[in-house]
Amino acid sequence: MPVTRDFMDALADDLAAESAALRALLAGLDEDDWRRDTPAAGWTIADQVSHLAHFDDVAVQSATDPEAFRTELEKAVAAGGIDPDQIAERYRELTGMQLLAWFDDARARLIRDFRGLDPSLRVPWFGPAMSAASSLTARIMETWAHGQDVADTVGVQREPTDRLRHVAHIGVGARPFSYAVNGKDAPTAPVRVELTAPSGAVWTWGPEDAADRVTGPALDFCLAVTQRRHRDDTALQITGPAAAEWMSIAQAFAGTAGTGRKPGQFSGSDA
């Protein structure tokens, strides 16, 4: 689909649907549930939601008041950088219902404000600026990934949808970043990625004749590149040294290198 204003509407609709899926997991939780530890070390369900709400607010600021965003970013960098754990700590006195109300409000404003933007508008972020369309796509990926942590904590297997294409697309595009964040030089060898979507469609990236390949279910690829499953606990077929090295460090999200999950941690899960 071309990157047009209709595309922004489609992205906003997909983010709204992903948000509703997460909210359905959260709505019935009691206060003890909100304080349950998730597979992300040191983070509770409450921390997962405050992280999303906080960065929704930041994303809105980056698009609607970029100078204020840059000022806040400079302050944060001068104070030692962006630390998600410290950000989570700020909001730990909020109740689950307060967090859910904040998430609802922040997400509604994000969808409303981004829906009307030119998709090619460059917005500042933590690192290189990105297009408004890419920023909204990143929020879909973040919502799905943190939603997986919540689902794993409450023991729910989510039904995968073709919204996973957004997550997979970011995962493929973040291959060079995965190397950079781990202090490695990215190889020049291309990797072909062929994924089977929940609908049965086949999504592809990279040259068809590439020797290095990653193939398999789109769900498993998304779980791997968001580091919600160890690659050994997926049905992915990984061929060639460049593909193998990439999938050992693949990271679709910004920030420092993630610790991922251990092999066998989710045996018998939705992967």
CA distance 111 to 129: 19
**Is pLDDT at 170 greater than 70 in this prediction?**
yes
- Picking from 230, 247, 235, 223, the residue whose alpha carbon sits closest to that of residue 175 is 247
Strands 191-196 and 212-217 come out as parallel
Domain boundaries along the sequence of the chain: 5-154, 164-249
Assigned CATH class of 164-249: alpha beta
- This prediction's pTM: 0.94
C-alpha distances in angstroms, 262 versus 85, 153, 171?
Answer: 21, 16, 20
CATH number for the domain formed by residue range(s) 5-154: 1.20.120.450
> Comparing 189 with 266, which gets the higher pLDDT?
189
Task: Read off the pLDDT of residues 229-265 as tens digits, 9 standing for 90 and up.
Answer: 999 999 999 999 999 999 999 999 988 888 899 999 8
